[in-house]
Structure 1
């Protein structure tokens, strides 16, 4: 092993020991970012340290090896959602994928005089803010509100459809509550409508399979660091409808990579990591779900004496997250009390640097006390055993 490999291996071993094996507070913020799967880590580091070559270089073996690695990853990412490899566009993450899906359709909407978009009030800011941009350009935006469990009614989406609806953009599962949205039902009734259907699958890709395999879903946003892969890479799956691709236009220019939709040199090590993360997620999904459900059961049993209010429905929630509040206790106090026990969150990591009340929980119509007290705990199959009773006793002591 060369010097670079040894240094990278030592750094990664230190990180894994401190975050996964349990020295210090246990990491319970996997909806923000997940620990990297060991096989993914090893592959990324090998491609960073030992492999050279630009995937666009076709005149030598280094470039050809890089190109083959990218093509393999493209197929691995596509397989999870039953898509074709050539329908995968690599990006820097789900935020860029969302922007490309939404803003990339704007020119087509203007040309065809279809300027209406339907989304929900609980979307990630990476969807809501591009929609605000289009609204400023004259598009009409309908945001459907969820019920008190954070689930949007499919009938509400259907009722909002208009002849000039260009796009329906709905998240697969909410990043704060874990609530799974009615993607199947929406895809069913969109069979009779021409609107494009985009699903932000950052939280559910590789964890909840069947919903994303519906062919009526035109666009799917994927994030590497939410499925135990590297940060800084993601994908937009752009399915053909019949023989036609979604009429996306690029947001940046220069180079023509990724069918001209996302120019720039491809980050081969990160793409390889995303591909392996996708393949591993598909291979191990049952075992991962069983582990996550077992942790959830243990957590709820320990927290039950606190009479917690869970902000989602158990039948429509991802197995690895609980968003809850305890009457009379503020979330900031809880996080401080748990500082040496567990790393938890009180909202989306993407907006938590300047904390403001959760737009998701407010859209659900929860009382302000519940919104102010909301804590999100999220784990993974890599999470070590958690002393949930200690965690619950720390919260109880705040009363």
Structure 2
């Protein structure tokens, strides 16, 4: 019986073999606590964490002191957004600018702040799935505390113009946060812009282990971003994220980041070739691709076919390919995509996302299965 081909890499990616080896080593033989200072087991664990911190910092041109480890981008987003609440209240800066196409891990913390009296402006995207930099600039006010714009949309793969937005914010004191869960390690130069103050990322999106991520907290003119911790008890990670560090996961994240940096061009080229095969294979269905192809990362497409129900399509394709119709984080109770709605697109789309390790697909069989539903 043929194996199902995994085409849901935007949800999570397979771990690289070298990452698996590193994680296993620090789960078994090198199991020390990085906080233990009295013996060599703790010393080696601490050094391994620092090495990983350096690799992650290099990816975004930051320093190791600016890398805070978390459980993933969702926690990082919460810390970046809710962590500024006290500072905003104390300084009469209670306005936040974001976009209508953000992940729920950003939109829901923003909703919490709105209930606390903050004013939140959500800028709509263009039909192509990206936000105009001038629209962000025009939404900013004197009392704006934070601007939060995602790096790459998780549903469409569309890259947001972060460098241009950063330039528009050059003379404004608002903090600039980027949810980089989908773009970290893939679109590398963008996140190195020094005007980006806060960057959220997850290990499992770049072929590392689940359960670990980072919040990059850049200093601005030697000044710290005035974040307040959301949890207490231990003081780890510069007082922003207490608790024993998961050394094995952090080491795996570091190895995954190092490989992503070294292999970025090779991986992207493989994904571009695969994308051409996807488009050629699906062509008989006359799919409508959502989002501007010129602004899309090469490993994902979001599309719909006239008359094709996405739920029925996913059921029909079970056993052939594993795909999704939106964000894995909200798939337990399917609701129409807020991203496509904001773009003015029709609902009922499918998302296919792959990687440099994805096997070949029998596209003729895919088209045959979907045509059965359409006929």
| TM-score, normalised with respect to structure 1 | 0.93
Q: Which residue of 2 aligns with 1:182?
A: 161
- CA offset at residue 331 of structure 1? 0.1
Q: Deviations over 1:358-378 (max 9, x none)?
A: 111111111xxx312x00000
Q: Which residue of 2 aligns with 1:34?
A: 13
Q: Which residue of 1 aligns with 2:333?
A: 354
- 1:321 partnered with 2:300: yes
- 1:192 partnered with 2:168: no
- 1:207 partnered with 2:186: yes
Alignment partner of 1:118: what SS? Answer: strand
Distance 1:210 1:51 in 2: 34
Q: Which residue of 1 aligns with 2:361?
A: 386
Q: Deviations over 1:317-372 (max 9, x none)?
A: 11100000000110011101110110000110000001111111111111xxx312
CA contact (8 A) 2:134 2:168 kept: no
Residue among 338, 348, 366 paired with 2:317: 338
Q: Deviations over 1:272-330 (max 9, x none)?
A: 00000000000000110001000000100111221111001111011100000000110
Residue among 283, 295, 301 paired with 2:262: 283
Residue among 25, 28, 46 paired with 1:49: 28
Structure 1 stretches (4+) deviating beyond 4 angstroms?
none
Alignment of 1:268-307 (within 5 A): 268-307=247-286
Distance 1:85 1:385 in 2: 39
Q: Which residue of 2 aligns with 1:264?
A: 243
**RMSD value over aligned CA atoms?**
0.9
Distance 2:300 2:152 in 1: 11
Alignment of 1:105-144 (within 5 A): 105-144=84-123
- CA offset at residue 397 of structure 1? 2.5
Distance 2:152 2:363 in 1: 25
Alignment of 1:152-167 (within 5 A): 152-167=131-146
Alignment partner of 2:332: what SS? Answer: helix
Structure 1 23/244 Cα, relative in aligned 2: closer, same or farther at 3 Å? farther
- 1:371 partnered with 2:347: yes
Alignment partner of 1:323: what SS? Answer: strand
Alignment partner of 1:294: what SS? Answer: helix
- CA offset at residue 23 of structure 1? 5.1
- Segments of structure 2 that go 5 or more residues without pairing to the other structure are none
- CA offset at residue 149 of structure 1? 1.9
Distance 1:244 1:112 in 2: 16
Q: Deviations over 1:49-74 (max 9, x none)?
A: 21121101111000000000000000
Distance 2:205 2:307 in 1: 32
Q: Which residue of 1 aligns with 2:373?
A: 398
Distance 2:201 2:80 in 1: 12
Distance 2:315 2:45 in 1: 46
Alignment partner of 2:347: what SS? Answer: helix
Residue among 48, 54, 60 paired with 2:39: 60
Structure 1 277/23 Cα, relative in aligned 2: closer, same or farther at 3 Å? farther
- Segments of structure 1 that go 5 or more residues without pairing to the other structure are 1-21
- CA offset at residue 155 of structure 1? 1.0
CA contact (8 A) 2:67 2:214 kept: yes
Q: Which residue of 2 aligns with 1:4?
A: none
Distance 2:18 2:253 in 1: 11
Mean Cα deviation higher: 387-396 or 31-40: 387-396
| TM-score, normalised with respect to structure 2 | 0.98
Q: Which residue of 2 aligns with 1:3?
A: none
Residue among 58, 66, 72 paired with 1:79: 58
Distance 1:360 1:50 in 2: 45
- CA offset at residue 31 of structure 1? 0.3
Distance 1:392 1:163 in 2: 53
